[in-house]
Amino acid sequence: LSRTTPPVVFFLGGPGSGKGTCSQRVSAENPDFVYFSVGSLLRAEKQSGSELGKAISGLIDRGVIVPPEMSMAVMRRALEAHAHHSAVLIDGFPRSLQQDDGWVESFGLPALVVVLDSSEECMRLRLSERSRTSGRADDKVSVLDKRFEQYATETRPVEQRYAALEGGRLLLTVNAMQDKESVYQDVKNGLIHKGI
Ligand code: UP5
Ligand code: MG
């Protein structure tokens, strides 16, 4: 992947805001768009039992953001196989200003940053529902507080950075408390508007 490769779209928003649900649907309806969940890539690395996976495991299970070099390593590997797609959708990244710096330095600015905006109450409700079947170690109530704290202190500043950059041209904020269909339509219209 280089600066000349397909437009990149980041999907940000709090835990349970619907990043995965919405970005996977965009990808499913546009097979030419490749989809990556950095969280899923990290969970897969953990399952693999590799040295890196062991290091990651202790962090994600506690809701802590992994060091940027670890997330960049799993993502770089995944991206290299998909450089021919017409757009790259990245779910749940960058998680911090430091990660964003690392990305922009290597690959340049994203074409669009979609922020799924939701109240914490709404997100908690969805996650407690999902926790019954997700099997995710970090869906435990005890870990949720940490995830919300990391979102507020580490990830919100990334959203604010893009809100301020180029007069907010790179940011698309969507009301994520609507039903799934409406959220999807708003995102889709935003992508079309951007020519993606
Ligand atoms: N749902 C979704 N949309 C809905 C709607 N509009 N109306 C009603 N229900 C809706 O959705 C959550 C639930 O809500 C689902 O049951 C869904 O059906 C329903 P989902 O699409 O799963 O939300 P999402 O935002 O993807 O929530 P997720 O829990 O995946 O968000 P997180 O940001 O917490 O998790 P992620 O997998 O991205 O990261 C996990 C961990 O990995 C992090 O905590 C961190 O430790 C690590 N990580 C890093 O260290 N670095 C990274 O760069 C990325 C991750
Ligand atoms: Mg997700």
Q: Give the ligand 1 atom nearest the CA of 91.
A: 38
194 occurs within a structural domain: no
- pLDDT at residue 1 greater than cutoff 80: no
Question: What average pLDDT does the segment 155-161 reach?
Answer: 98
Asked if residue 139 lies in contact with residue 40, where contact means CB atoms within 8 angstroms, the answer is: no
| Whole-number Å distance between alpha carbons of 178 and 186 | 10
pLDDT, position 185 = 98
2 occurs within a structural domain: no
3 occurs within a structural domain: no
If you count them, how many residues does the chain have? 196
| Whole-number Å distance between alpha carbons of 114 and 42 | 21
Q: List pocket residues of ligand 1, CB cut-off 6 Å.
A: 13, 15-21, 37-39, 42, 59-60, 63-66, 71, 92-93, 95, 126, 129-130, 138, 147, 179-180, 183
Going by alpha carbons, the residue nearest to atom 42 of ligand 1 is 39
Look up residue 19 and give its two tokens. 């990043």
How high is the mean pLDDT of the chain?
93
For ligand 1, pick from 12, 19, 59, 71 the residue to mutate: most ligand atoms within 8 Å of CB: 19
36 occurs within a structural domain: yes
- pLDDT at residue 73 greater than cutoff 60: yes
CATH label of the domain that carries residue 27: 3.40.50.300
- pLDDT at residue 38 greater than cutoff 50: yes
Find the farthest-apart pair of alpha carbons in the chain and give their distance in angstroms, rounded. 44
Instruction: Convert the pLDDT of each residue in 106-155 to its tens digit.
Output: 889 999 999 999 999 999 999 999 999 999 999 998 999 999 999 999 99
pLDDT, position 76 = 87
If one counts the domains in the chain, the total is: 1
Which residues constitute the domain of residue 146? Answer: 8-189
Share of the chain above pLDDT 70, in %: 97
- pLDDT at residue 3 greater than cutoff 50: no
C-alpha closest to that of 188 among 83, 71, 120, 87: 87
Q: Give the ligand 1 atom nearest the CA of 75.
A: 53
1 occurs within a structural domain: no
Ligand 2 mean position to 17 CA, how many Å?
A: 8
195 occurs within a structural domain: no
Look up residue 190 and give its two tokens. 């935003």
CA 22 to each of CA 17, 26, 69, 145, 184: distance values in angstroms, whole numbers, following the listed order: 9, 6, 27, 23, 6
> Is residue 44 within a helix (H) or strand (E), and if so which, with residue range?
helix 38-48
| Whole-number Å distance between alpha carbons of 6 and 75 | 15
34 occurs within a structural domain: yes
- pLDDT at residue 173 greater than cutoff 70: yes
- Residues paired with residue 88 on neighbouring β-strands, in sequence order: 8, 34
Q: Which residue has the higher pLDDT, 157 or 73?
A: 157
- pLDDT at residue 16 greater than cutoff 90: yes
133 occurs within a structural domain: yes
Asked if residue 59 lies in contact with residue 69, where contact means CB atoms within 8 angstroms, the answer is: no
